[in-house]
Amino acid sequence: MKVDITVPPVGESVTEATVAQIIKQSGEVVQKDDEILELETDKVNQVVHAPESGLLTLSVSVDQKVGIGEILGSIDTDKASSEQPASKQKQQDKKPPEKTDIATSSPQKDTSSGSKARISEEEALKQLNKPQIEPTKPQASAPSTNKATSSNQPKIPSSEGQKRKRMSGLRKTIAQRLVEVKNQTAMLTTFNEVDMTKVMQIRTKQKDAFEKKHGVKLGFLSFFVTACSAALEAFPDVNAFIDGDEIVYNEHHNIGIAVSTDKGLMVPTLRGCEGLSFAEIESTIGGYAQKAREGKISIDDLQGGTFTITNGGVFGSLLSTPILNPPQSAILGMHKIQKRPIVVDDKIEIRPMMYLALSYDHRIIDGKEAVGFLVHIKESLEDPSRLLLEF
């Protein structure tokens, strides 16, 4: 019996996809749930798995455009036990494990290997908080100056020692959205530094008992999420966004956690952080990390964020200016913890310090509010007992 392989739905507004990679070749015997090929859209990369075991026949090629529901090939289940042809030997070169970096237990670099995560950075830039707007195609007679990837721009002649690779639809969308953020917001960044001494002392003292009780490790990120939630309560404009000529205020603190993978950047969302315990925060983050390693992050996991935290410290960054995740109005950048001499009670001491950066949309958030928000986070982390009280 032959079983058809079809293009699965990959999002409400997605009507077509491009065959980005063929993982299994026609003529190979595959097992049920084996990865067959990878599809690429302007929103997400998705792998198509074998619906049954049998002899694979594909009717598509790399770079071919296909519609949702279109037949990609078939599997002959009557030949499930057939000997695999010699052509499979060409597929035996294994790729090195890919990495997933997420700010879970330490701002230092913490990577995990596993299956490819197939949600890209474009998802972090196209949160589905509001209706999607499809990018306008540039007219041939009037090249757009606002798009980073206009087809009307003249190509630079190739020189010796260069090679070219087709830019994926995802990368094109990323380039366009990054330029749109710069052009459509009045983005500024304010900086501060936080003494991590007390947070590190609490974590060192309680991490074993915490893990034994809750089954998850106590990381730094749960402190930051809780501190940000308290600051969002005190400064509601930071948890709002502009829609036309209106300001939309979010009642809940849905904090996105930027996760970097070899495939790209994604921002899964912790919903209702104002009511989450440390254990719930760590458990949810751990679940997202597992999904990222297995390539199972869904669009539902990525939508609905009202504020974002990103941790450049996992890569060793000491200071940076994070870019906004539209339509959100602010994003907090964490960085590497580094021991530095500071003045404490008129004495010079060596303390573990971290620079914090808050990028914000100045159209909705004034400088006073931005600085106040960042100072609120700093004070909560330097005196964690404040998180137990209402300030």
Report, as residue numbers or ranges, the catalytic residues: 362, 366
Q: CA nearest 123: which of 203, 198, 177, 179?
A: 177
Task: Let me know: does 126 contact 327? Beta carbons within 8 Å.
Answer: no
| Residues 333/300, Cβ–Cβ less than 8 Å | no
CB proximity list for 206: less than 8 A, separation 6 or greater: 218
201 vs 29, 195, 206, 229, 379, CA distance in Å?
56, 12, 9, 22, 16
Q: CA–CA separation, 63 vs 360, rounded Å?
A: 39
CB count within 10 Å of CB 150 equals 13
Strands 54-58 and 65-67: unpaired
Nearest to 313 by CA among 125, 139, 102: 102
Within its chain, how far is the Cα of 71 from the centroid?
A: 31
Calculate the CA dihedral of residues 205, 347, 344, 357 and round it to 10 degrees: -100
Cis? peptide before 327, omega within 30° of 0: yes
Q: What residues contact residue 280 under an 8 Å CB cut-off, 6+ apart?
A: none
Q: Which helix (H) or strand (E) holds 243?
A: strand 240-243
Beta bridge partners of 270: 255
Contacts of 271 by beta carbon, 8 Å cutoff, 6+ apart: 252, 254, 304
User: In whole angstroms, what is the distance from residue 320 CA to residue 318 CA?
Assistant: 7
Q: Cα 267 to chain center, whole Å?
A: 3
Report CA torsion sign: 326, 331, 334, 340. positive
